[in-house]
Structure 1
Amino acid sequence: MSQVWFITGASSGFGLDLALLALSAGHKVIGTVRDASRASDAVSAIKAKGGEILELDVTKADTIAAVVEKANGIYGGVDILVNNAGYSLLGAVEDMKEEEVKLQMETNFFGPLRLIRAFLPTLRTRGNGNSTIVNISSIAGQDAQPTCGLYAASKFALEGLSEALALEVAPFNIAVLIVEPGAFRTNFLHASKQPETPLSEPYKGGPVDTVLQKFGSAAGKQRGDPAKAVARIFEVVTGTGEAGGLRGKILRLPLGPDCLERIERKLKKFNADIEATRSFALATDFD
């Protein structure tokens, strides 16, 4: 069955790959880019396969309604909303300026929130059991490392929103899928941003400095194959292929061995904390 996809951040990475895969499979795609002239290669690739392109900056709240209306007018509505646009702000939390913090949250959390709210009336009318909201998170949405304080915060927020949203929209036959990629060989690390303030002296040589250097050396060498990740996302959303049987059965889709390792390690620590505090937690009711 052909469906209509609305994919933000379609200029590169997962967004572009997913758009091209969906088009190749016979679906209709509306991809968004911030600047069509600067993303001309991606725009040409999507249009060559029959896709549509709209310009959208998810941080500009006053433009969302018009873009959503235009998108709904192209094919009469949207079946699958993919919130993929985002970036990472990497550095010490203490070094980040207020404006940098706000932009990180605007892009990775408030942008998706606005699009979800704007598209829901249409998604409800197309609630034939095939409507899906896909929120691209990260392993950082489960496991925060030094340097990733605000990036992780934005993804933790997106995941919390998604958990509640999944319960709220289930009666309308709308599925919610949280995608949690580990390290994949996209331009993600190349496109990451660091605070305008250089790493301050107390953090030099410490965990923040170490992780920043690790990210720098890993750019372009990530073990994850983006094509394989995108194929799994497509299969779970459409109910086809190797992972198609998971459609409607999972809330989270972790991707990559590193992602699974970090989640499992965090779960062990979480469970250890529960056991260590169990007696105290149980003794907090009124006598």
Structure 2
Amino acid sequence: MPQTWLITGTSSGLGASLALAALRAGHRVLATARNTSTASTLQPEITSLGGIWIPLDVNDPDTPTIIQNAINTHADGVIDVVVNNAGYSLLGSIEDMSEAEIESQFNTNVHGPIRVLKGVLPFMRKKRAGTVVNVSSSAGVDGAPGCAVYAGSKFALEGMTESLSKELHPFGIRVLLIEPGYFRTKFFSAFVAPAAGLNEDYVGTPVEAALKLIKAKDGSQEGDPEKAAQRILEVVDGNGMASGIAEKGFLRVVLGPDCWKRFSGKIEGVRENLEAMREIAHSTSFQ
């Protein structure tokens, strides 16, 4: 059955691929971008397939009102799926990052999705149905060097989404966390570095090595964003490779063999850590 989707950050990358996948599947798409004139030029197929462009900067405090007006104007007050995809990465040494740079990272990656949710959730609660899709990252489960603030923003999104899945369940609203590994988008080439540059003490450390790896890997990432978009679409629609998964209520959608391997290693490390702390954990009660 055709549904109405609202997707943020659709000018390129995974957001654009997902908008196209949803449109090709027969869904209605409200595609948001900070500059819709540029975005529509970059993604003419979204327009030709019937996508509706909505100018939106998720950093704008008026985001909830802008979204509510768009839903009322272009979707007759109905929204079935919202995808919080807009975001960016601030990479480097945390020492070199200014307060303004750190605040901007969290404003976009954490406060942005909150503003979007405040815009759509009243419609979903009224309908007692809907799907919230928050796009996280492999960095949202496993923090890597050079990614402290970016990973922190994604860890925050992960925790928020876990709670949301429980809070919204009584309203029939499903919540999903998308966790992509390395996909061939502009993510690597578009990351933001601190204006202060890299402190000399970090030269030759894991921070510099991670930044060099990201720059070297740009353009050769193994992940295909169109395939990722198709998998997300199937999870939301409950068909294809995701047939039967929706009924099981899984929260996380892991995309990419690199992400799978990274998560597996994280789980094993956490389990080992937990077992090592068993005696200490049970030694702190009054009795």
- State the TM-score bracket (shorter-chain normalisation): over 0.9
User: Are the equivalent residues in 2 in contact too, given 1:43–1:53 (CA < 8 A)?
Assistant: no
Q: Distance in 2 between matches of 1:63 and 1:274?
A: 41
Q: Deviations over 1:176-211 (max 9, x none)?
A: 000000001111111111110110011011110000
Please give the secondary structure, in 2, of the residue aligned with 1:54.
Answer: strand
Counterpart position of 1:163: 162
Q: Deviations over 1:249-285 (max 9, x none)?
A: 2100011111011111111111111111110110100
Counterpart position of 1:57: 57
Please list, as runs of the form range in 1=range in 2, the aligned pairs for 1:1-287 lying within 5 A after superposition.
1-76=1-76, 77-128=78-129, 131-248=130-247, 249-287=249-287
Q: Pick which of 98-107 and 114-123 moved more.
A: 114-123
User: Are the equivalent residues in 2 in contact too, given 1:237–1:244 (CA < 8 A)?
Assistant: no
User: Are the equivalent residues in 1 in contact too, given 2:5–2:29 (CA < 8 A)?
Assistant: yes
Q: Distance in 1 between matches of 2:118 and 2:11?
A: 23
Q: Distance in 1 between matches of 2:205 and 2:263?
A: 24
Question: What TM-score does the superposition give when structure 2 sets the normalisation length?
Answer: 0.96
Please give the secondary structure, in 1, of the residue aligned with 2:31.
Answer: strand
Task: Report sequence identity in percent.
Answer: 46
Please give the secondary structure, in 2, of the residue aligned with 1:87.
Answer: coil
Q: Deviations over 1:61-93 (max 9, x none)?
A: 134312332233211221100000011101001
Which residue identity does 2:48 align to in structure 1? A
Please give the secondary structure, in 2, of the residue aligned with 1:65.
Answer: helix
**Equivalent residue pairs, number:** 285
Q: Deviations over 1:84-107 (max 9, x none)?
A: 001110100111001110110011
Please give the secondary structure, in 2, of the residue aligned with 1:177.
Answer: strand
Question: What TM-score does the superposition give when structure 1 sets the normalisation length?
Answer: 0.96
Q: Deviations over 1:203-230 (max 9, x none)?
A: 0111100000000000010011111111
Moved over 4 A (4+): none
User: Are the equivalent residues in 2 in contact too, given 1:178–1:253 (CA < 8 A)?
Assistant: yes
Q: Distance in 2 between matches of 1:56 and 1:262?
A: 33
Which residue identity does 1:86 align to in structure 2? G
Q: Distance in 2 between matches of 1:277 and 1:200?
A: 36
Q: Distance in 2 between matches of 1:72 and 1:278?
A: 54
User: Are the equivalent residues in 1 in contact too, given 2:40–2:47 (CA < 8 A)?
Assistant: no
Which residue identity does 1:44 align to in structure 2? P
Q: Distance in 2 between matches of 1:62 and 1:132?
A: 22
Which residue identity does 1:91 align to in structure 2? G
Q: Give unmatched runs, 5+ long, in structure 1.
A: none
Q: Root-mean-square deviation (CA), in Å?
A: 1.2
Q: Deviations over 1:25-78 (max 9, x none)?
A: 111000000012332324532111011001100011134312332233211221
